[in-house]
A = this chain, B = another copy of it.
Amino acid sequence: MTADGPGGPLAGVTVIDLTRVLAGPYCTLVLADLGARVIKVETPGGGDDSRTFGPFIEGKSAYFMSINRGKESIVLDLKDEAGCSTFEDLLAGADVLVENFRAGTMERLGYGWEALHARYPRLIYAACSGFGHTGPYAGRPAYDVVVQAMGGIMSLTGQPGGPPARVGSSVGDIVAGLFTAIGVNGALYRRTITGEGMKLDVSMLDCQVAILENALARYFASGEVPGPLGTRHPSITPFQAYATADGHVVISAGNNALFARLCAALGRPALAEDARFAENAARNANIDALEAEFEAILTTQPTAHWLALLEEAGVPCAPINRVDDVLADPQVAARNMVIRADDPVAGEVRMAGNPIKLSAYPDPEERPPAPGLDEHRPLITDGGGS
């Protein structure tokens, strides 16, 4: 391996990566973090579009660098004979191919599943697209905000009666990348038994449906169409943000024992005996009254005061951390969730770490940087590196 990673359960696995921007690259980031060798095949004329997404550090996209760390890069034109020839050499030595084109693109390039499987029977082929390779919307383009809107999560997020809100992280892309990584690893396991690869067809929209959880269950059970609830939970109370003197504090105390402890900590033990609040169902029914009772107390002191008091009392609580707060959190540091990569141009860059901590492998504080465009061509075309 060139981009010499820390090892991991996928050490020895080679992934050919045709993906761009986010859903696919997030999948291959996870695979690289688990030790796979990921060879990013980029298009002539600049490669992955996200190389041009600002903001930049010394002219390099911070975003691109964070999502593509630990990968190698080669530029190939798949509409050109020489490009195809090199690409096919790569496939012959690969375990996995991942792409996130629109449905039909791989077939047009001559690399549809039937052709791939006939020629490379051990190759696992993972397609991660907006709408999948079947159905009336196959072939339509999608972006994160499109599938967040179509898949229902946007209808559940924000304030009741308020304007729509997108989840502030691209969960339309990322969740699809995660499901694709699960499927790739499952297919790798299966191949040790059967000797054969398979095709995965993962759709961003499908993945949004798969994470609707209690909203779907609620609708099927009651016919009630759920809407946004601010920070509240549809069936657990208290489980929300409350105003304090200088901001908010999140409190989760859904069972009666925790609720009693919370009321005692706030100096209002009688609230736990109040018929309006004695059981979770009653608290759900009287959620506004409970919020008024709590906020009358909580707005008398700043968030830090309440966090210290509630942590002492063993009541689950949290500040609403901004990104800078997250990065300063001692638990985040202790878990090595902010790692660094030494980029030859941008210098030391920081990014999120790998959340899958494994007893069998180290979790290094430094990971290899994202590749320069075509940086690894000599190594890759030498057949070296694996």
Question: How distant is A369 from chain B, measured CB to nearest CB, in Å?
Answer: 14
- How many A residues are at the interface, by size bracket? 35 or more
Partner of A179, one of B136, B178, B186: B178
A317 lies within 8 A of B146 (CB): yes
Q: Is A65 an interface residue (CB 8 A)?
A: yes
Partner of A149, one of B219, B227, B318: B318
Q: A158-B165, A162-B159, A183-B358 are in contact. Are A235 and B320 (CB under 8 A)?
A: no
The segment from A80-88, A267-275, A330-338 found at the interface with B is A330-338
A318 to B193, CA, bound (A): 42
A165 lies within 8 A of B230 (CB): yes
Nearest B residue to A152 via CB reads B326
B153 lies within 8 A of A169 (CB): yes
Nearest B residue to A137 via CB reads B331
Residues on B with beta carbons closer than 8 Å to the beta carbon of A357: 132, 134, 200-203, 206
Q: Is A145 an interface residue (CB 8 A)?
A: yes
A252 to B21, CA, bound (A): 15
A213 lies within 8 A of B170 (CB): yes
The segment from A53-61, A70-78, A375-383 found at the interface with B is A53-61
Partner of A155, one of B183, B322, B352, B355: B322
A325 to B171, CA, bound (A): 20
Q: A206-B355, A214-B63, A231-B145 are in contact. Are A322 and B152 (CB under 8 A)?
A: yes
B142 lies within 8 A of A225 (CB): no
Most B CB within 10 A of own CB, among A62, A137, A169, A337: A169
B66 lies within 8 A of A334 (CB): no
Residues on B with beta carbons closer than 8 Å to the beta carbon of A54: 221, 235, 281
B167 lies within 8 A of A217 (CB): no
A62 to B222, CA, bound (A): 10
Q: Is A228 an interface residue (CB 8 A)?
A: yes
A171 lies within 8 A of B211 (CB): yes
Question: How distant is A320 from chain B, measured CB to nearest CB, in Å?
Answer: 5
B250 lies within 8 A of A320 (CB): no
Most B CB within 10 A of own CB, among A66, A158, A181, A235: A158
Partner of A182, one of B181, B212, B224, B325: B181
Question: How distant is A130 from chain B, measured CB to nearest CB, in Å?
Answer: 8
Q: Is A350 an interface residue (CB 8 A)?
A: yes
Question: How distant is A321 from chain B, measured CB to nearest CB, in Å?
Answer: 5
B209 lies within 8 A of A332 (CB): yes
Residues on B with beta carbons closer than 8 Å to the beta carbon of A181: 182
Partner of A239, one of B145, B159, B221: B145
Partner of A189, one of B134, B170, B192: B192
Most B CB within 10 A of own CB, among A168, A190, A200: A168
Q: A187-B9, A324-B225, A358-B183 are in contact. Are A316 and B141 (CB under 8 A)?
A: yes
